[in-house]
Structure 1
Amino acid sequence: MRAIPVFVMSAVATMAFAFPASAAAIDASVALQPQARLEARGAAVTVPMRVMCANGASGSLWVQVTQNVRGELAVGDRYAPSVPCSGRFHKVDVTVVSRTKAFRPGVAFTSATLNVFLAPDGSGVAEENREMTIVR
Protein backbone atom coordinates (compact mmCIF):
# COMPACT_ATOMS: atom_id res chain seq x y z
CA MET A 1 0.00 0.00 0.00
CA ARG A 2 2.84 2.35 0.64
CA ALA A 3 4.09 1.99 -2.96
CA ILE A 4 1.16 3.94 -4.41
CA PRO A 5 1.75 7.16 -2.44
CA VAL A 6 5.50 7.00 -3.20
CA PHE A 7 4.74 6.44 -6.90
CA VAL A 8 2.30 9.34 -6.95
CA MET A 9 4.80 11.64 -5.21
CA SER A 10 7.51 10.63 -7.71
CA ALA A 11 5.23 11.34 -10.65
CA VAL A 12 4.22 14.75 -9.29
CA ALA A 13 7.85 15.70 -8.63
CA THR A 14 8.85 14.61 -12.15
CA MET A 15 6.04 16.64 -13.77
CA ALA A 16 6.98 19.73 -11.77
CA PHE A 17 10.42 19.76 -13.37
CA ALA A 18 9.07 18.90 -16.83
CA PHE A 19 7.00 22.08 -17.17
CA PRO A 20 8.81 25.43 -17.46
CA ALA A 21 8.02 28.19 -15.03
CA SER A 22 5.38 30.57 -16.35
CA ALA A 23 6.37 34.08 -17.41
CA ALA A 24 6.03 36.81 -14.83
CA ALA A 25 2.94 38.99 -15.27
CA ILE A 26 3.70 42.64 -16.09
CA ASP A 27 1.28 45.46 -15.26
CA ALA A 28 -0.54 46.82 -18.30
CA SER A 29 -3.67 48.93 -18.69
CA VAL A 30 -5.64 50.45 -21.58
CA ALA A 31 -8.61 52.80 -21.21
CA LEU A 32 -10.63 53.88 -24.25
CA GLN A 33 -12.09 57.37 -24.08
CA PRO A 34 -15.85 57.84 -24.68
CA GLN A 35 -15.52 59.75 -27.98
CA ALA A 36 -13.61 59.26 -31.24
CA ARG A 37 -13.12 61.95 -33.89
CA LEU A 38 -14.29 61.48 -37.49
CA GLU A 39 -11.53 62.11 -40.04
CA ALA A 40 -11.55 62.70 -43.82
CA ARG A 41 -15.34 62.54 -44.23
CA GLY A 42 -15.54 59.15 -42.56
CA ALA A 43 -12.56 57.44 -44.13
CA ALA A 44 -11.06 57.12 -40.65
CA VAL A 45 -11.61 57.81 -36.96
CA THR A 46 -9.06 58.91 -34.38
CA VAL A 47 -9.49 56.86 -31.20
CA PRO A 48 -8.09 58.47 -28.04
CA MET A 49 -7.04 56.29 -25.13
CA ARG A 50 -4.74 56.11 -22.15
CA VAL A 51 -2.18 53.32 -21.86
CA MET A 52 0.10 52.27 -19.03
CA CYS A 53 2.84 49.65 -18.99
CA ALA A 54 5.83 48.93 -16.77
CA ASN A 55 8.89 51.16 -17.04
CA GLY A 56 11.41 49.65 -19.45
CA ALA A 57 8.88 47.36 -21.11
CA SER A 58 7.97 47.43 -24.77
CA GLY A 59 4.30 47.68 -25.68
CA SER A 60 2.21 47.33 -28.82
CA LEU A 61 -1.43 48.16 -29.38
CA TRP A 62 -4.19 46.73 -31.58
CA VAL A 63 -7.39 48.80 -32.06
CA GLN A 64 -10.55 47.85 -33.98
CA VAL A 65 -13.65 49.98 -34.66
CA THR A 66 -16.94 48.54 -35.95
CA GLN A 67 -20.02 50.62 -36.74
CA ASN A 68 -23.43 49.75 -38.19
CA VAL A 69 -23.97 52.21 -41.05
CA ARG A 70 -27.47 51.83 -42.50
CA GLY A 71 -27.47 48.06 -42.06
CA GLU A 72 -23.90 47.48 -43.27
CA LEU A 73 -20.71 47.36 -41.22
CA ALA A 74 -17.95 49.94 -41.37
CA VAL A 75 -14.88 48.16 -39.99
CA GLY A 76 -11.31 49.25 -39.51
CA ASP A 77 -8.33 48.24 -37.42
CA ARG A 78 -4.86 49.51 -36.69
CA TYR A 79 -1.72 48.07 -35.16
CA ALA A 80 0.60 50.45 -33.33
CA PRO A 81 3.95 48.66 -32.90
CA SER A 82 5.19 50.91 -30.10
CA VAL A 83 3.58 52.73 -27.18
CA PRO A 84 5.33 54.59 -24.34
CA CYS A 85 6.06 52.44 -21.27
CA SER A 86 7.13 54.39 -18.20
CA GLY A 87 4.92 53.01 -15.44
CA ARG A 88 2.59 56.02 -15.88
CA PHE A 89 -0.48 56.62 -18.03
CA HIS A 90 0.11 58.20 -21.44
CA LYS A 91 -2.43 59.63 -23.87
CA VAL A 92 -2.28 57.82 -27.20
CA ASP A 93 -4.35 58.63 -30.31
CA VAL A 94 -4.71 55.86 -32.89
CA THR A 95 -6.16 56.65 -36.32
CA VAL A 96 -8.19 53.73 -37.67
CA VAL A 97 -8.93 53.67 -41.42
CA SER A 98 -12.13 51.95 -42.57
CA ARG A 99 -11.64 48.85 -44.75
CA THR A 100 -15.30 48.79 -45.84
CA LYS A 101 -17.78 51.67 -45.65
CA ALA A 102 -17.17 55.18 -44.35
CA PHE A 103 -17.67 55.79 -40.63
CA ARG A 104 -20.39 58.26 -39.63
CA PRO A 105 -21.11 60.30 -36.52
CA GLY A 106 -22.82 58.03 -33.98
CA VAL A 107 -22.19 54.95 -31.88
CA ALA A 108 -19.48 52.40 -32.74
CA PHE A 109 -18.04 49.40 -30.93
CA THR A 110 -14.33 49.68 -30.20
CA SER A 111 -11.78 47.14 -28.94
CA ALA A 112 -8.22 47.79 -27.81
CA THR A 113 -5.56 45.25 -26.83
CA LEU A 114 -2.25 46.27 -25.28
CA ASN A 115 0.53 43.65 -25.34
CA VAL A 116 3.55 44.26 -23.12
CA PHE A 117 6.92 42.49 -22.90
CA LEU A 118 9.70 43.05 -20.38
CA ALA A 119 12.94 41.07 -20.80
CA PRO A 120 13.88 38.46 -19.92
CA ASP A 121 10.50 36.71 -19.63
CA GLY A 122 7.78 39.03 -18.36
CA SER A 123 4.65 39.82 -20.33
CA GLY A 124 1.19 41.22 -19.89
CA VAL A 125 -2.01 41.90 -21.81
CA ALA A 126 -4.72 44.47 -21.18
CA GLU A 127 -7.97 44.70 -23.12
CA GLU A 128 -10.95 47.00 -23.19
CA ASN A 129 -14.12 46.80 -25.28
CA ARG A 130 -16.76 49.52 -25.25
CA GLU A 131 -19.26 51.55 -27.18
CA MET A 132 -17.79 54.84 -28.30
CA THR A 133 -19.43 57.87 -29.85
CA ILE A 134 -17.90 59.11 -33.10
CA VAL A 135 -18.14 62.90 -33.41
CA ARG A 136 -17.13 65.39 -36.12
Structure 2
Amino acid sequence: MLTATAVLATALPAAAAQVDAAVAIQQQGRLEARGAAVTVPTRVMCQNGATGSLWVQVTQNVRGELAIGEKYTPSVPCTGEFHKVDVTVVSRTKAFRQGVAFTSASLNVYLPPDNSSTVEEEREMMLVR
Protein backbone atom coordinates (compact mmCIF):
# COMPACT_ATOMS: atom_id res chain seq x y z
CA MET A 1 0.00 0.00 0.00
CA LEU A 2 1.36 3.38 -1.01
CA THR A 3 1.39 6.23 1.41
CA ALA A 4 -0.22 9.54 0.47
CA THR A 5 3.25 11.14 0.20
CA ALA A 6 4.46 8.52 -2.26
CA VAL A 7 1.38 8.94 -4.44
CA LEU A 8 1.70 12.73 -4.39
CA ALA A 9 5.41 12.57 -5.25
CA THR A 10 4.73 10.47 -8.35
CA ALA A 11 1.83 12.67 -9.48
CA LEU A 12 3.75 15.98 -9.47
CA PRO A 13 6.51 16.74 -11.98
CA ALA A 14 9.90 17.82 -10.70
CA ALA A 15 10.23 21.58 -10.40
CA ALA A 16 11.85 23.10 -13.49
CA ALA A 17 15.18 24.78 -12.89
CA GLN A 18 15.68 28.43 -13.83
CA VAL A 19 17.57 29.05 -17.04
CA ASP A 20 20.29 31.72 -17.01
CA ALA A 21 19.07 34.71 -19.05
CA ALA A 22 19.34 38.51 -19.13
CA VAL A 23 18.18 41.36 -21.36
CA ALA A 24 19.28 45.02 -21.35
CA ILE A 25 17.92 47.88 -23.45
CA GLN A 26 20.54 50.45 -24.37
CA GLN A 27 20.06 54.17 -23.66
CA GLN A 28 19.59 55.38 -27.26
CA GLY A 29 17.56 54.16 -30.21
CA ARG A 30 18.10 55.33 -33.79
CA LEU A 31 15.25 56.73 -35.88
CA GLU A 32 14.93 55.14 -39.32
CA ALA A 33 13.07 56.24 -42.48
CA ARG A 34 11.98 59.63 -41.11
CA GLY A 35 10.56 58.07 -37.96
CA ALA A 36 8.67 55.20 -39.56
CA ALA A 37 10.82 52.87 -37.44
CA VAL A 38 13.38 52.91 -34.66
CA THR A 39 16.34 50.57 -34.19
CA VAL A 40 16.50 49.45 -30.57
CA PRO A 41 19.93 48.13 -29.51
CA THR A 42 19.68 45.42 -26.88
CA ARG A 43 22.10 43.05 -25.19
CA VAL A 44 20.88 39.52 -24.54
CA MET A 45 22.38 36.58 -22.69
CA CYS A 46 20.96 33.09 -22.46
CA GLN A 47 22.41 29.82 -21.29
CA ASN A 48 24.43 27.77 -23.78
CA GLY A 49 22.24 25.09 -25.37
CA ALA A 50 19.02 27.05 -24.87
CA THR A 51 16.87 28.74 -27.51
CA GLY A 52 15.74 32.32 -27.04
CA SER A 53 13.26 34.73 -28.57
CA LEU A 54 12.95 38.47 -28.00
CA TRP A 55 9.94 40.81 -28.04
CA VAL A 56 10.50 44.60 -28.04
CA GLN A 57 7.87 47.37 -27.84
CA VAL A 58 8.36 51.14 -28.23
CA THR A 59 5.74 53.73 -27.23
CA GLN A 60 6.17 57.48 -27.61
CA ASN A 61 3.88 60.46 -26.98
CA VAL A 62 3.98 62.52 -30.18
CA ARG A 63 2.02 65.75 -29.74
CA GLY A 64 -0.63 64.07 -27.60
CA GLU A 65 -0.97 60.93 -29.72
CA LEU A 66 0.88 57.63 -29.28
CA ALA A 67 3.39 56.23 -31.73
CA ILE A 68 3.48 52.49 -30.99
CA GLY A 69 5.33 49.59 -32.53
CA GLU A 70 6.58 46.16 -31.58
CA LYS A 71 8.81 43.50 -33.06
CA TYR A 72 9.19 39.81 -32.35
CA THR A 73 12.60 38.25 -33.05
CA PRO A 74 12.13 34.47 -33.08
CA SER A 75 15.76 33.54 -32.49
CA VAL A 76 18.62 35.14 -30.55
CA PRO A 77 22.08 33.65 -29.88
CA CYS A 78 22.34 31.56 -26.71
CA THR A 79 25.98 30.89 -25.82
CA GLY A 80 26.14 31.96 -22.17
CA GLU A 81 27.75 35.27 -23.27
CA PHE A 82 26.15 38.66 -23.94
CA HIS A 83 25.32 39.43 -27.59
CA LYS A 84 24.25 42.72 -29.18
CA VAL A 85 20.91 42.36 -30.95
CA ASP A 86 19.55 45.35 -32.88
CA VAL A 87 15.76 45.18 -33.24
CA THR A 88 14.05 47.43 -35.80
CA VAL A 89 10.57 48.35 -34.58
CA VAL A 90 8.14 49.78 -37.17
CA SER A 91 5.44 52.15 -35.91
CA ARG A 92 1.92 50.91 -36.52
CA THR A 93 0.28 54.25 -35.70
CA LYS A 94 2.26 57.43 -36.40
CA ALA A 95 5.92 58.34 -36.89
CA PHE A 96 8.38 58.31 -33.99
CA ARG A 97 10.21 61.59 -33.31
CA GLN A 98 13.46 62.58 -31.63
CA GLY A 99 13.04 62.52 -27.87
CA VAL A 100 12.08 60.17 -25.06
CA ALA A 101 10.16 56.93 -25.67
CA PHE A 102 9.16 54.13 -23.33
CA THR A 103 10.69 50.82 -24.36
CA SER A 104 10.18 47.30 -23.05
CA ALA A 105 11.89 44.03 -23.90
CA SER A 106 11.01 40.46 -23.00
CA LEU A 107 13.47 37.57 -23.53
CA ASN A 108 11.93 34.10 -23.47
CA VAL A 109 14.38 31.22 -23.09
CA TYR A 110 13.78 27.47 -23.33
CA LEU A 111 16.30 24.80 -22.32
CA PRO A 112 15.22 21.25 -23.20
CA PRO A 113 13.63 19.16 -21.91
CA ASP A 114 11.43 21.35 -19.71
CA ASN A 115 13.30 24.37 -18.33
CA SER A 116 12.31 27.90 -19.30
CA SER A 117 12.69 31.46 -18.14
CA THR A 118 11.41 34.91 -19.07
CA VAL A 119 13.31 38.09 -18.21
CA GLU A 120 12.10 41.61 -18.90
CA GLU A 121 13.36 45.17 -18.85
CA GLU A 122 11.50 48.46 -19.20
CA ARG A 123 13.09 51.89 -19.51
CA GLU A 124 12.93 55.31 -21.07
CA MET A 125 15.08 55.49 -24.20
CA MET A 126 16.25 58.57 -26.12
CA LEU A 127 15.41 58.37 -29.82
CA VAL A 128 17.99 60.13 -32.00
CA ARG A 129 18.63 60.55 -35.74
Amino-acid identity (%): 74
CA shift, 1:66, in A, is: 0.3
CA distance, structure 2, for counterparts of residue 13 and residue 133 of structure 1:
57
Local SS of the residue matching 1:87: coil
- Counterpart Cα distance in 2 of 1:19 and 1:57: 24
Q: Gaps (5+ residues) in structure 1?
A: 1-9
The count of corresponding residues between Structure 1 and Structure 2 is: 127
Offset of 1:17 from its aligned partner?
3.0
Q: 1:37 aligns with which of 30, 34, 40?
A: 30
Partner SS for 1:75:
strand
Deviation of 1:22 after TM superposition, in Å, equals 2.3
Question: Which residue, 88, 105, 109 being the options, matches 1:95?
Answer: 88
Does the residue aligned with 1:120 lie in a helix, a strand or coil? coil
TM-score by length of 1: 0.89
**Runs of 4+ off more than 6 Å:** none
Equivalent position SS for 1:113:
strand
Q: 1:3 aligns to what?
A: none
**C-alpha RMSD of the superposition:** 1.1
Report the TM-score, using the length of structure 2 for normalisation: 0.93
Structure 1 or 2: larger helix share?
Answer: 1
Q: Which amino acid aligns with 1:127?
A: E
For structure 2, the 5+ residue unaligned runs are: none
Structure having the higher Rg: 1
- The whole-number CA distance in structure 2 between the counterparts of 1:109 and 1:13 is 50
Deviation at 1:11, TM superposition (A): 4.4
